[in-house]
């Protein structure tokens, strides 16, 4: 199933940005009660990808920080079986897991092997607009693409 998730992320990047990509790194996160992840970015990669395996109620949000000096960040409530792909330069964090159950996600970075049209955030789910200067393109039943300028 992991290969199918990676293939889906690569397909979205290929289809909507017209570039090929390859996996640069791969890892899993298991957040127990009380655990969180500090603000960070993914540096030298082009796209950061998160697939949610287990998201019990109260497990914490993925927080985007388009302006890292403003807190607490723009929340996205994770949902099981949802893939999130966003520009690797976009700072993000994960709020504290308040659930008794584990929050589990699989993450990987994609490096493009060709030029991208623009940095994007791809979410297979609905999101509130992240910043004022966004444009939306909905792919019915597949994804919502948000271009951040």
pLDDT for the residue numbered 20: 84
Percent of the chain with pLDDT over 90: 30
Per-residue pLDDT reduced to its tens digit, 67-107? 777 767 888 888 888 888 888 888 899 999 999 999 999 99
Spatial neighbors of 29 by CB under 8 A, at least 6 apart, are 37, 94, 103, 104, 105, 106, 107
Per-residue pLDDT reduced to its tens digit, 27-47? 999 999 999 999 999 988 888
| pTM summary value | 0.77
């Amino acid at each position: 199933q992991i290969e199918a998730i990676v293939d889906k992320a690569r397909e979205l990047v290929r289809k909507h940005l017209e570039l090929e990509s390859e996996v640069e790194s791969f890892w899993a996160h298991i957040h127990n009660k009380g655990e969180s992840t500090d603000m960070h970015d993914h540096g030298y990669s082009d796209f950061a990808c998160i697939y949610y395996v287990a998201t019990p109620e109260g497990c914490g949000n993925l927080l985007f920080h388009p302006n890292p000096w403003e807190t607490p960040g723009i929340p996205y409530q994770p949902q099981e079986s949802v893939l999130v792909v966003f520009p690797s330069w976009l700072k993000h964090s994960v709020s504290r897991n308040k659930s008794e159950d584990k929050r589990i996600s699989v993450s990987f970075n994609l490096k493009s092997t060709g030029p991208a049209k623009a940095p994007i955030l791809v979410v297979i789910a609905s999101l509130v607009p992240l910043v004022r200067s966004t444009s939306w393109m909905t792919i019915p039943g597949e994804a919502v693409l948000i271009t951040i300028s």
